Amino acid sequence: MNRLDTDVLILGSGGAGLFAALHAKAGAPDLAVTVAVKGLLGKCGCTRMVQGGYNVALAPGDSVERHFMDTIEGGKWLNDQELAWILVTVARERVRELENELGCFFDRNPDGTIHQKAFAGQTFDRTVHKGDLTGIEIINRLAEQVWARGIGRLEDHRAVALIKTRDGAAVAGVVMIDMRTGEFLFVRARAVLLATGGGPTMYRYHTPSGDKTCDGLAMALSAGLRLRDMEMVQFHPTGLLAGPETRMTGTVLEEGLRGYGAYLLDGEGRRFMTKTDKRGERATRDIVSRAMFAEMRNANTGPMGGLFLTMGHLDPVEVRRQFPGMVERCADCGFDLVSGLVEVVPTAHYMMGGVEFAPDCSTVLEGLYAAGEDTGGVHGANRLGGNGVANSTVFGGIAGDTLAKWTPKHGKFRDPDEAAIAAAEAECLKPLANPPGNLEDVRERLAQLMWDDAGIIRDRASLGRALNGLDELDKALDGVGVAGDDLAYNLAWHDWLNLKNLILVSKVIAAAALARDDSRGAHWRADFPATGDLETSTFTSARLVGGKIDVAMRPVKFTRVRPGESLIKESAAE
């Protein structure tokens, strides 16, 4: 196996990973910082795909207290309040950094102030954006800075295992596969940041980049770390339904469309959201997705089984001006967003759950840090649209600052557990020993199983079916081989590895959902539709023990505000 040493190894090149790399290098210029990415830096991942924008309290009449309360109430009081407070306060600093230091251009009002648009679930229009292509603007500027500052890159390298020291007390490095050659590489590092992003691509309809297969969460589980809130999978209400033969199906039509005034219509062309929530289409994503799913279950749908989004009642000139990317995307798929009907379906979008981590981005494993969608606790039971890219950039920067301070003083190269390295390599090579089989069948069965039994609406029976079905799929995958004559860019091999990670993380989602016997945010139990007592709220904490998922319920700590209270009132009283 090839070997490489670097002071800081960052897994992932989205907003979290690139911000961390820049902050680490700025804080400790002598550190060797390396970013490893499954694809090409700046060209893959989910931050680049962000359309809507970045939530931050900037305008008169808004405040961090108001943003915080929207985040906590949207999260149904399951958030780690210290993490949520960091999110809303540091976001103000980070958006200025994006503009003034990194060169991002966000849309402006006529008076020169930053324009902020409406997103669902918020009491103030606070979403900063660059048209409807905000993620491209952010990632392009971040990537330019990384390329310019001598930060190392391992492109087309996938991480497959976190390797600890022989005593298990600290992380020693990461086993990777160089996808260009198929060779294994062990990267020894004084500190490792997990920032691979989540990516619920185990569902029939999903939005994330195709390279997102929950690799970081699977590695964290295998390394013994706990994951919190894993039952909380967010479905975005408006995924494009372009037909079964295109990957465009499931991709997001951004929340700003509904914030601007778009309507959702049933199969007969009637609005239905006002029956469910007084906010109508601007209710939080979980509420809108459930209302849509109910209409779909009643077969009140369009020709492809979805519902309709329309902006035909709005000013067509403004629709084209404000949402050029969405208009073009719909046109590419044969839909007229400006004056016609676009068929849409709820689509798996984001994982509120992830690795348990501290405000400085450290984890319980010495030398291992985490940021972005690989982490849990910031969003609670439901992420507000616009809080995702804020999360990745806020905590990515914090992780970089922490790495710059911790690594020179406390980080050291540690001898890895060589047996664990060999075991990781052997596990990856397993499918090469079997005759090639049908990976697509496993993928289709996984997608349908998770959509039907562990998706938008769940119950004990469906989750039991999901867990049993996932065990069967895991065994079936172990029997499927791939051709191993040439391992360079062997996509079938990497598909096998992707599915292995997706099945493992799917088991955690289903197990956590079964353990939570109330309905909260993105998690809806048809057999327990009521929300439990907020004062005694608990979050799920899952880990892998002997190959099985163990889920504990832990109390939420109300460190800043309790249910029934509001920081907005307290701030006004002061």
pLDDT for 491: 96
pLDDT for 572: 45
Give the separation between CA 261 and CA 282, rounded to whole angstroms.
8
Give the separation between CA 554 and CA 566, rounded to whole angstroms.
23
Q: Is 361 helix (H, G, I), strand (E, B) or coil?
A: coil
Domain boundaries defined on the chain: 236-348, 432-537
Parallel, antiparallel or unpaired: strands 33-36 and 127-128: unpaired
pLDDT by residue for the chain (574 residues), tens digit each?
A: 899 999 999 999 999 999 999 999 999 999 999 999 999 998 888 888 888 899 999 999 999 999 999 999 999 999 999 999 999 999 999 999 999 999 999 999 999 999 999 888 899 999 999 988 899 999 999 999 999 998 999 999 999 999 999 999 999 999 999 999 999 999 999 999 999 998 899 999 999 988 899 999 999 999 999 999 999 999 999 999 988 777 788 888 988 899 899 999 999 999 999 998 999 999 888 899 999 999 998 888 999 999 999 999 999 999 999 999 899 989 999 999 999 999 999 999 999 999 999 999 999 999 999 999 999 999 999 999 899 999 999 999 999 999 999 999 999 999 999 999 999 999 999 999 999 999 999 999 999 999 999 999 999 999 999 999 999 999 999 999 999 999 999 999 999 999 999 999 999 999 999 999 999 999 999 999 999 999 999 999 999 999 999 999 999 999 999 999 999 965 443 3
Q: Is 339 helix (H, G, I), strand (E, B) or coil?
A: coil
Cβ atoms within 10 Å, residue 210: 12
Would you mind telling me the total number of residues written for the chain in this entry? 574
| Residue 377, both tokens | 């606790």
* CATH code of the domain made up of 432-537: 1.20.58.100
C-alpha separations of 501 from 133, 159, 446, 494 in Å: 30, 12, 12, 11
Give the separation between CA 57 and CA 81, rounded to whole angstroms.
17
Give the separation between CA 525 and CA 520, rounded to whole angstroms.
9
Give the separation between CA 493 and CA 489, rounded to whole angstroms.
9
Which of the residues are catalytic?
A: 236, 258
Give the separation between CA 432 and CA 334, rounded to whole angstroms.
42
pLDDT for 441: 97
pLDDT for 574: 37
Give the separation between CA 383 and CA 388, rounded to whole angstroms.
7
DSSP 218-272: HHHHHTT--EESTT-EEEEEEEE---TT-TTTT-B--THHHHHT-EEE-TTS-B-
Do 369 and 402 form a contact (C-beta atoms < 8 A)?
yes
The structure's pTM equals 0.95
Do 28 and 408 form a contact (C-beta atoms < 8 A)?
yes
CA 213 from chain centre, in angstroms, equals 11
Do 367 and 191 form a contact (C-beta atoms < 8 A)?
yes
Q: Is 260 helix (H, G, I), strand (E, B) or coil?
A: helix
C-alpha separations of 83 from 106, 249, 357, 372, 521 in Å: 26, 34, 9, 12, 18
| DSSP type of residue 447 | H
* Fold for the domain defined by 236-348: Flavocytochrome C3; Chain A, domain 1 (3.90.700)
Cβ atoms within 10 Å, residue 530: 10
Place of tokens 């609670």: 380
| Residue 98, both tokens | 């994006």
C-alpha separations of 258 from 118, 236, 563 in Å: 9, 12, 29
| DSSP type of residue 456 | S
pLDDT for 20: 98
Give the separation between CA 78 and CA 540, rounded to whole angstroms.
10
Parallel, antiparallel or unpaired: strands 263-265 and 307-310: antiparallel
100 burial level (CB within 10 Å; 0-12, 13-18, 19+):
exposed
pLDDT for 569: 66
Angle at CA 519, nearest 5°, toward 535 and 218?
A: 100
